[in-house]
Structure 1
Amino acid sequence: MVSTLELLSKYRASVGVATVASTAFALFGYDTTIAGGVIALKSFQVEFKLSTNAVKSADVSSNVVALLNSGAFFGALVPALLSRYVGRKLLMTIAACFMLIGGTLQTSAQPPSISMIYGGRVISGFGVGIASSLTPMYIAETAPKQLRGLLMSFTELSLVGGSMVAYWTVYGCSLHLKPTSKQWRVPLSLQIIIGTVILAGSFIIVESPRWLAKQNRWDEATHALQWLRGASSCEEVKAELAEIHAQIEEEIRATSGRSIKELFRRQNFFRLLWACGIMILAVGTGQTAILYYAPTVFKQIGFTGQNPGLLASGVFTVVKVVVTIVFLTLVVQNFKRKYLLLFGSALMSIMLFTLGALLKTHPPVTGHSANNSSSGRAMMATIYIYIIGFTLSWGPLSWVYVGEIFPTRIRDYGMATAVMVIWFFNFVISKWTPLIFLHLTWKTWMLFGIFNALGFIFAIFLPETKGLSLEEMDVLFRVVDESTRRLDIEEHLGVTTERTISAVEKGM
């Protein structure tokens, strides 16, 4: 059996492409996280006149976070609308430009007016929405099936890495910078640097061979796939191109070329329901609420001081990064998607019910900046164990699953729909979480615990996708019979062989 290290060496071009593409998720993580930390700074509260009114502060906080999600909701639709005309490379460039403009506006805001912060968040969100829909789909289309889960999980590592940088940047500014506008401008300005890296990366990645094939640009698709799989893998390229060709032609025959209607064919519609369901439940785990408002969460369990809350939030992100690395190196290649989702749902549900019960029975004592009691340490432990469960399951796998289950011709539409769903529910949670914390207190965690229990039930019935090629998803979801697909592949192998040999002779 070929080891993971050997596969990484063999497919190093695909690994490089996935690494570059996943940097977009670093800004995704940074943007979605930075607001909660910046708003918690006293300098921001004072300059934008939020420190004297708790309700106004909660409302502005939710607006700053939620506006990114509203922009992302519409941005997620862009790849589907432009996929017929614009490839993955150019879309990544466009997303980076929106992120840069949004970050610049936020950094240039002039208090006490918060309008530039609001506008910048919407524009950044639009770019984040494009990247969130595009990146998993692009990596799925360029990765070999043996490494697809691992390479798609690079996005989660980038996301949590961006979140970690966001919180530690805010914490460092809180400790070492005077409480002036510089204290909150510096964290916001790092968006510009990350956006520049993404923009540069968009010029060095290769176009998706499956997108090229969908445009009937088969010679370019052959070149791209040959480069991604390595010069020594000609037979593998032939077989993969034959699969792609067979799938596309089957879909054209079934729908007379009307690709948007394919999404609503019975079995494809079931795929859409699975994708939307997994995204809704991923938001319902509660991780989004903690990620956006970690300082507020730790304040609820007794870490009321600015620096203790930011420090606890920073450690939270470090735990996520470490566990994500464990997931990439030891977990994703060795366990089925379904088993990991079941494990994560069970662990998160138990931890959140425990946290809610502790808050009810042992509320933190007022007047202390850090809750160092045994119950406080237990509550902290439940949050950290909870995030371990999320990071080993629903965190990375929700993006992996949705990015891989749709066929080539409707992947843009399916991915856009699922991602718009997650951004809509992110908007709802980000808008209402501060008020929910104010009014439901400990019951908030019971609510999220119930969502995780629902996620466990959902995962029991989820079709397993590990180890299948993108084209084999049609067989899994019964869009096409396995024997029919085999015959179609064999029919195209001869054509593909001639095309591949011709491409190699031209200088590949």
Structure 2
Amino acid sequence: MSSTLDLLSKHRSAVAVAAVASTASLLFGFDTGVAGSIVALRSFSSDFKFSTNAAKAADVSSNIVALLNAGAFFGALAPAPLSRFIGRKPMMTLAACFLLLGGILQTTAQSPKLAMIYSGRVISGFGVGMVSNMTPLYVAETAPKQLRGLLMSLFELFLVSGGLLAYWTAYGCSLHLHSTSKQWRIPLGIQIILAAIVLGGSFMIVESPRWLAKQDRWDEAAETLAYLRGISSDEVELKAELAEMHAQIDEEVRATAGRSVKELLQRQNFVRLFWGCGVGFFTMWCGQTAILYYAPTVFRQIGFTGQNAALFASGMFTVIKVVVTVLFLAFGVQNFGRRGLFSVGSFFMMTMLFSLAAILKTHPPIAGKASNNTPSGRAMMATIYLYIIAYSMSWGPLNWVYMGEIFPTRIRDYCMAIVTMIIWLFNFIISKWTPTMVLYIGWKTWIIFGMMNAVGLIFTLFLPETKSLSLEEMDVLFHAVDESTRRRDIEEYFVTPAEVEETSKAAS
């Protein structure tokens, strides 16, 4: 623990940059969490005329959530063609503008028409998609390898904090405000405040040194890297990292003869893309997305039918996520390998979802009660809470870490675009289907997600381990270059101060 604190102190500039960049995921989490909570408010369903029709309520609820994911699908693609020309930092500013506009449209929507809500969700989703692509990539490129897992996990911490803020804001408005439009406008309006914070933060961060290196702006890359590492440009540590960056970029250029998108089809890159897409796929199908987006609906399914009871249970779900994610950052990500945590998480999530389905099948809640304060009701709630503990100690924070760190510099934009588009595609499908699944197949919903965790467990057993490797060392791990070639290429660029002194003596 003390060594981690020493590293955090030494690399405080990189920590600060990662924290500021990760504030974008706070709004990401808020946007994804707020829809399920405001749809559960009677004031919202009454204003938009779907309070008495269960099928219509499920349809409207799924539309409001799914449209954000549809916008995010296309937003995730935008950084690939744009950021290679304008950089990571301006892309964050652009994403914040979309988030701000989307929040304004949703907050000012006029009932009973949902057009402004829907359009605002799509625009916000576009910004969320950009953020989900850019933030892990940016933090991976700025963080030192010893702290990369920890700093990239901040993305998940801020994300779950956004979900917590969304649910507890809705719960507070439900508890203390009359059933008017103010009850749902206030939670939606918080998006505007958060978007303004993200916009301001985008002007405070530095450009990625690896992006600068890729543009052949090596002096700026060295200056930025020195700032992030808290050392002078003459120190050996900095020269070694720059030499690694030089070697990787030169090797990629030699191997690909200047190609870019076509590089995705090369075997060593395609394998990385397979692992990244696999992690994204199983993150979506592990069941957390369904519970997060529709927590009030899920808790009503197990017997907590009162509006405040469902929202309170949902709020506790987000509290557990935040607390466990903090514990994971403190004790998990620095001490355990990625593959082991993924595997253990899949096993426990599978177990909890199968248990939830079994109890719901054999002991369904009694209709007409606001809360299910029975042994079976408490057991079902416990399985959901234990499930989210397992998720928050594994797939939750680690999926963004793994996807953000495994791709090569030259095509990292395109690879991240593909994996985040995979995430948002299945996010859209799950968010659209979940209310209907809960309504029509009930307990079998959780059997489906439990089975997906079983398949995910098998997948993780073969996952390459990336802990403690630099971004450039990923090439060796995935056999893009052999270790001896990489070492020789690094030596070509790495000149120590002692060697400089010897050269100058020989010249004189």
Q: Which bin holds the TM-score, normalised by the shorter protein? A: over 0.9
Distance 1:260 1:402 in 2: 18
RMSD: 1.4
**C-alpha separation in 2, matches of 1:236 and 1:365:** 65
1:328 aligns with 2:323: no
Residue deviations 1:412-452, cap 9 Å, x none? Answer: 01011000000000000001111011111001111100011
The aligned residue for residue 293 of structure 1 is: 294
| Alignment-derived partner of residue 231 in structure 1 | 231
Identity %: 67
The 1-side partners of 2:61 and 2:212 are apart by 43
Q: CA deviation at 1:21?
A: 0.4
The Cα shift of 1:33 comes to 0.6
Q: Counterpart of 1:502? A: none
Matches of 2:381 and 2:496 in 1, distance apart? 60
Give distance in 2, aligned partners of 1:260 and 1:484: 24
Equivalent residue for 1:432? 433
> Are 2:88 and 1:88 equivalent residues in the alignment?
yes
Aligned residues of 1:350 and 1:449 also touching (Cα < 8 A): yes
* 1:14 matched to 2:19: no
User: Does the aligned pair in 2 maintain the 1:337–1:466 contact within 8 Å?
Assistant: yes
Change (3 A) 1:498 1:24: farther
Where do residues 88-487 of structure 1 align in structure 2 (5 Å cutoff)? 88-231=88-231, 234-487=235-488
In the alignment, residue 85 of structure 1 is paired with which amino acid? F
1:75 aligns with 2:75: yes
CA distance in 2, matches of 1:358, 1:113: 40
Q: Give the distance between the partners of 2:396 and 2:499, measured in 1 at CA.
A: 43
What SS is found at the alignment partner of 1:231?
A: coil
Deviations 1:445-483 (CA, angstroms, capped at 9, x unpaired): 111000111111000000000000000000000000100
In 1, are the aligned partners of 2:353 and 2:450 still within 8 Å (CA)?
Answer: yes
TM-score by length of 1: 0.97
Task: Please identify, of 147-156 and 234-243, the stretch whose mean Cα deviation from structure 2 is larger.
Answer: 234-243
Deviations 1:243-275 (A, max 9, x none): 001000100001111121212110100100100
In structure 1, what residue type is equivalent to 2:487?
Answer: R
User: CA 1:326/1:70 → structure 2, altered by over 3 Å: closer, same or farther?
Assistant: same
Shift in alpha-carbon separation, 1:245–1:361, aligned structure 2, 3 A:
same
Report the 3-state secondary structure (helix = DSSP H, G, I; strand = E; otherwise coil) of the residue aligned with 1:3: helix
Q: Is the 8 A contact 2:302 2:377 kept in 1?
A: yes
In structure 1, the partner of 2:44 is: 44
Give the conservation status (yes or no) of the 8 Å contact 1:238–1:497: no
What residue number does 1:506 align with?
Answer: none
Distance 2:413 2:264 in 1: 10
CA distance in 1 between counterparts of 2:281 and 2:206 reads: 32
> 1:188 is paired with a residue of what secondary structure?
helix
**Conservation of the 8 A alpha-carbon contact between 1:238 and 1:496:** no
Change beyond 3 A, Cα 1:5–1:208:
same
Cα distance in 2 for residues equivalent to 1:132 and 1:410? 17
Once residues 440 and 473 of structure 1 are traced to their aligned partners in structure 2, the CA distance between those partners, rounded to angstroms, is 44
CA deviation vs aligned residue, 1:135-162 (integer Å, no higher than 9, x gap): 0000000000000000000000000000
The offset of 1:341, in angstroms, is 0.5
Question: Does the residue aligned with 1:85 lie in a helix, a strand or coil?
Answer: helix
Q: Is the 8 A contact 1:345 1:456 kept in 2?
A: yes
What displacement does 1:498 show? 11
Deviations 1:20-68 (A, max 9, x none): 0000000000000100000010000000001121111111110000000
Letter of the 1:376 partner, please give it.
G
Residues 497 and 54 of structure 1: CA distance in aligned 2, closer, same or farther (over 3 Å): farther
The residue type equivalent to 1:184 in the other structure is: W
**Which position in structure 2 is the counterpart of 1:57?**
57
- Decide whether the 8 Å contact of 2:236 with 2:496 is kept in 1: no
How far residue 86 of structure 1 moved from its aligned partner, in angstroms, is: 1.1
> Post-superposition shift, 1:494?
3.3
Structure 2 regions of 5+ residues with no counterpart?
501-508
Aligned pair count? 499
> In structure 1, what is the Cα distance between the partners aligned to 2:120 and 2:498?
50
Aligned partners of 1:357, 1:392: CA distance in 2, in Å?
A: 24
C-alpha contact (below 8 Å) 1:43/1:184 kept by paired residues: yes
* Contact preservation (8 Å) 1:241, 1:496: no
Question: What is the Cα deviation at residue 492 of structure 1?
Answer: 1.1
CA contact (8 A) 2:306 2:370 kept: yes
Using the TM superposition, give the Cα deviation of residue 495 of structure 1 relative to its aligned residue in structure 2, in angstroms.
Answer: 10
Q: 363-372 or 224-233: which moved more? A: 224-233
Poorly superposed stretches of 4+, deviation over 3 Å: 494-499
- More displaced 10-residue stretch of structure 1: 489-498 or 123-132: 489-498
* Alpha-carbon spacing, 1:244–1:495, altered in 2? closer, same or farther (3 Å): farther
Between the aligned partners of 1:318 and 1:47, the Cα distance in structure 2 is: 29
In terms of mean alpha carbon deviation, does 2-11 or 380-389 score higher?
2-11
- Contact persistence 1:242–1:496 (CA under 8 A): no
Give, in whole Å, the separation in 2 of the partners of 1:245 and 1:72. 34
1:479 to 1:404, Cα distance in 2 relative to 1, 3 A: same
Match for residue 29 of structure 2? 29
Question: Offset at 1:81?
Answer: 1.0
**Superimposed CA distance per residue, residues 278-321 of structure 1 (whole angstroms, 9 cap, x where no aligned partner):** 10000110000000000000000000000000000000000000
Q: TM-score, normalised by structure 2?
A: 0.97
Q: Give CA-to-partner distance per residue, 1:89-120, whole Å, 9 cap, x none.
A: 10000000000000000000000000000000
Segments of structure 1 that go 5 or more residues without pairing to the other structure are: 500-508
Matched residue of 2:86: which SS? coil
Q: Distance in 2 between matches of 1:401 and 1:340?
A: 12
